[in-house]
Structure 1
């Protein structure tokens, strides 16, 4: 497919598209600022860094037991497990559901068990976090239909994993399944993407404005491609990664090839 095939995908009703984007933006602000949104994360504590099981500011004793985490709690810790006050010892697996549904809590705080590449961590979500109190919104570019582009998903013959630096300074594997091809001002570009369980795509990308007019990198989540591989690349819905809201997330940086040579002035730009 030539570059001329990847053109701006003009919405059928630009006014309706702009209104839909505004609703999306408002929902994003509500989600980010919700009691257990990313602003409430006050710490990600890797158990390997706490061999005695004690984490500053986090009650209980947390031990890496290989296939699970063992939590020991005393009455003075004020810990609840599965919604009930807990004293004793319990084995925990990783929390995979919504933050409010995590098994361990201390008052309104949620202590979420995380497993990543064989390492265990405890995340502390606190609705009373300073970041949540100080949040003033998300700076975003005005909706522009010119940044809704027609693209095409081309899967790799085999999925691949590349090592990329993460926001916490460590390198980890990032799984990629293919490329999304699209054209900007007549020049074809490609983004390496992952495929989510529901078939939607996920790109970690930077552009010429990253770190200047916008955050240092962003996410893009196009819907699942059509049967012929066609996909809409809507930069108006570029997302700030969770680590833009709290320093304790371990977001991956863009993989090689995912830094665009032009600035993208739309989508979420910075936290206010």
Structure 2
């Protein structure tokens, strides 16, 4: 085993843990609220009035509500668009960050609380040991046109999952393919299951290879398969694997399950 490769993986694991356990990381999520489900504009546990419109989520609040918008006490009506980062969200309530998102045409408010039970009780993640066998040369084949398919999500609802192409990699003489999305920075994202899912590992997991080279080649490091956020904290809407992304092989690589105390 390459010492450098193993050390890089260990460093990646440490960064991963830091991202998970940060004040506004996934473990801090304590609620996902859909204002359309609250016609009176009131969301239990949150001050202010929240109204979903076609092009914005409208917040009405006053100084007594204790909300801030862009660092200033909320006053009157504010039209909010989606936030990209809970650490830079526009609306706060004390230490809590209220993240605005839009999913399948619906507006939602996510409540991140640094004092969450999931963050306090987090014990770690069980992982498979690093093995260079799981670092494979891969090839990205983009679709001529992106496609969206409906898949079940962790909350039981079906929502659209955008897919941009196929990621192929070889293992033990066989080629395996996964349907993948392309992120804003060009990196790839796959939702997958395998022969260990639901038994030796969580029921599905994520793989995030780097952006492919111009010729489509990309290194697929299966040691860096990760748990979806919904495995670590409630209220996430993680999509299940699309058709074709359940592999027959046992990927004993990457993150397995949350550690049980």
Residue 179 of structure 1 aligns with which residue? Answer: 166
SS at match of 1:232: strand
SS at match of 2:17: helix
State the Cα distance separating 1:212 from its structure 2 match.
Answer: 1.2
**TM-score normalised per structure 1:** 0.92
Question: How far, CA to CA, are the matches of 2:151 and 2:245 in structure 1?
Answer: 12
Residue 10 of structure 1 aligns with which residue? Answer: none
State the Cα distance separating 1:89 from its structure 2 match.
Answer: 2.1
1:88 matches 2:80:
no
Q: 1:37 aligns with which of 19, 25, 50?
A: 25
Q: Unpaired runs of 5+ in structure 1?
A: 1-12
Residue 104 of structure 1 aligns with which residue? Answer: 91
CA distances 1:171-197 after superposition (whole Å, capped 9, x unpaired): 111111111112222122111111222
Q: 1:73 aligns with which of 44, 57, 61?
A: 61
Q: Unpaired runs of 5+ in structure 2?
A: none
Residue 178 of structure 2 aligns with which residue? Answer: 191
CA distances 1:71-94 after superposition (whole Å, capped 9, x unpaired): 111333211111122232222122
**TM-score normalised per structure 2:** 0.95
CA 65–157 in structure 1, closer or farther in 2 if over 3 Å, else same = closer
CA contact (8 A) 2:36 2:51 kept: no
Kindly report structure 1 stretches of 4+ aligned residues shifted beyond 4 Å.
none
Residue 129 of structure 1 aligns with which residue? Answer: 116
CA contact (8 A) 2:148 2:160 kept: yes
Question: How far, CA to CA, are the matches of 2:53 and 2:168 in structure 1?
Answer: 45
CA contact (8 A) 2:136 2:220 kept: yes
CA distances 1:91-148 after superposition (whole Å, capped 9, x unpaired): 212212x212111111100111111121111110000000000001121111100111
Residue 5 of structure 1 aligns with which residue? Answer: none
Question: How far, CA to CA, are the matches of 2:14 and 2:225 in structure 1?
Answer: 14
Q: 1:170 aligns with which of 142, 154, 157?
A: 157
SS at match of 1:29: helix
Size of the aligned set, in residue pairs, is 259
Question: How far, CA to CA, are the matches of 1:90 and 1:126 in structure 2?
Answer: 22
